[in-house]
Amino acid sequence: MNISDVAKKTGLTSKAIRFYEEKGLVTPPLRSENGYRTYSQQHLDELTLLRRARQVGFNRKSAASWWPCSTTRRGTAPM
């Protein structure tokens, strides 16, 4: 599905989706031969959860420290 479909289904704007991708808060989507982003159900789930986290007060910086699909996290949890 394309970014406009994802925007409609998640309630986010295309700009917000691209921003979250740029900041590493969602799994990078695959790109089609023509360079368009191609999204899956996994992306919908990640973006919906992120939108809900923002609605209850988490900001982007705090989300990056615990977000399960964040590519900006560093280190591992102690065992």
**Mean pLDDT score, 62-77:** 54
Question: Count of residues for the chain?
Answer: 79
Domain boundary assignment for the chain? 3-59
Look at the domain 3-59 and name its fold. Multidrug-efflux Transporter Regulator; Chain: A; Domain 2 (1.10.1660)
Task: Give the global pTM.
Answer: 0.75
| 8-31 as b/e: b if 16+ CB within 10 A | eebebeeebbeebbebebbbebee
Residue 16 token pair: 């917000």
At 11-60, the pLDDT tens digits run 999 999 999 999 888 999 999 999 999 999 999 999 998 898 888 888 77
